[in-house]
Copies of this chain bind each other. A is one copy, B any other.
Amino acid sequence: MTQPARRRSQGSGRGGRPATLTPERIVAAAVEVLDAEGLEALTMRRLGAQLGVAAMSLYRHIPNRDALLAEVVTHLFSEAVVELEVTGPWPEALPRFAAAYRGMLLAHPHAVPLLATHPVDTETGLALLTGLLDRFAASGVSHQDALTVIQSVAVYVLGHALAQVGTPPGTEGPAPVADPDATAFYDRWFETGLLAMVSGFEGQLAGQRARH
């Protein structure tokens, strides 16, 4: 039968026209356009052009634009966290995570509003952070508390990045060639706030332990 069967192929069943497009290629191209021309420029037609394909062809691989943006978010977050060295006690590992996350956000400034709008899927996020969670467990911190600490820091990092890439430069163009003074200011602010948070949590958890 020739049922509708619209949307979504079954992966790589034999037969059929060979695919030039894959979800991965689409996401990668989306990041390219995003970095080069900003979020507003990331239209379906523009993305098709980047891939040498018509806009509608994309819909064979993604349900809609919003889902694509969600994929981009997941991709970028993974990119930041995957190559993260999680060793040592949590008060050392946690700032490394924060720095890696922030590094990714500043490397893709146009993506920051996206991360704010399309939160990383909870399941996926947790899966990517098991290594970090282990560092808390190793110090006897409960899963619940570890989650609060990590999420608080993540939320701070994203909020900080939003403030940094918020308005200063234009909202487009390849590289605004950041003002080094402003960069230093944001860097110092970031470190100060992060340190306050981490040491605050250290004190909190220590006190809790003592009171066990």
Contact = CB atoms under 8 A, between A and B. Distances in A.
Interface of A: 113, 116-117, 119, 148-149, 151-152, 154-160, 162-163, 166-167, 188-189, 192-193, 195-201, 203-204
Interface SS majority for chain A: helix
A40 to B, nearest CB: 11
20 contacts: A116-B117, A119-B162, A119-B163, A148-B189, A148-B192, A151-B189, A152-B160, A152-B196, A155-B159, A156-B159, A156-B197, A158-B162, A159-B159, A159-B160, A193-B197, A196-B200, A197-B197, A197-B200, A199-B203, A203-B203
Oligomer copy total: 2
B163 A192 contact: no
Nearest to A166: B119
A192 B166 contact: no
Contacts of A119: 162-163, 166-167
Nearest to A191: B148
Contacts of A151: 163, 189, 193
A197 B151 CA distance: 13
A116 B113 CA distance: 7
A142 to B, nearest CB: 12
Contacts of A203: 196, 199-200, 203
A149 B158 CA distance: 16
